[in-house]
Structure 1
């Protein structure tokens, strides 16, 4: 049975490691890579989801790397960009899309933003309704 996994992605090595882990360990599962444009980091946006149709305007540059990594595993992945506080946006999408699990890096933020905003991985792990795999 094919499962649907969600891999939150930012432009960090740990997020890339999580994607590679998901591709290697779950070769038969559908993978969606999600990038949350954080309201706090994006100037207090409206918290609205950005659909795949709007991806050209909002897709981060590192999604090209995401597709290259997937191609190395002879896979394709769906990509989606959402707007909202990172953990909330990830969890909301996971619930709406009916994902079966989340695979994410242990941290993406560093320095002051990590201290002020807390760990997205920790918030997702505590509140997710599906299993969460944290990749160091």
Structure 2
């Protein structure tokens, strides 16, 4: 069984499904809901390093906190609590870096996030995480 589960979360329906899956399948695990504030690629090329933490606006941080509050509400409906974490950067890279640096046993994520054009982009996040993650990945569809 997994002791620590990482759930990238953006409050999309599939992110909710992924979080609910983690809450149900790993009832004794510590679960962390992660929101990554995406930094445009053109800004990332100016900086390097796995510990990339760019300054972000109060508005972006507030939005991220609101998203993670949704994760807290979902967990509360299951009688559980989740830890929350906000990161900045390219989502797939931050998810993999966090799973590499911290003792997570599994990553649970939705197959894609929001609808429309961002659905394609976020679908590629799931694919990149599956390919590069140092721990098992469960993709919820």
**TM-score, shorter chain, exceeding 0.5:** yes
Gaps of 5+ in 2: none
Secondary structure of the equivalent of 1:67?
Answer: helix
Aligned counterpart, 1:58: 61
Q: Which residue of 1 aligns with 2:43?
A: 44
SS of equivalent residue, structure 1 residue 94: helix
Q: Structure 1: 5+ residue runs without aligned partners? A: none
C-alpha distance in structure 2 between counterparts of 1:56 and 1:116, whole Å:
22
Once the two structures are superposed, the pairs formed by residues 104-119 of structure 1 within 5 Å of their partners are: 104-115=109-120, 119=124
Structure 1 residue 48 displacement after superposition: 0.5
Distance 1:17 1:123 in 2: 20
User: Shift of residue 95 of structure 1?
Assistant: 1.1
TM-score (norm 2): 0.80
Structure-2 change in CA distance of 1:57 and 1:111 (3 Å): closer
Q: In 1, distance between residues paired with 2:60 and 2:140?
A: 30
Residues 31, 77 of structure 1: 8 Å contact kept = yes
Q: How many residues align?
A: 131
Q: Deviations over 1:59-90 (max 9, x none)?
A: 52122211111111111110000001000001
Aligned to 1:80: 85
1:16-63: CA deviation from partner (whole Å, max 9, x where unpaired) = 11000100111011101111111128x83664078xxxx997252122
Q: 1:72 to 1:112 in 2, by over 3 A?
A: closer
Q: Is the 8 A contact 1:49 1:82 kept in 2?
A: no
The alpha-carbon deviation at position 2 of structure 1 amounts to 5.5
2:127 match? 122
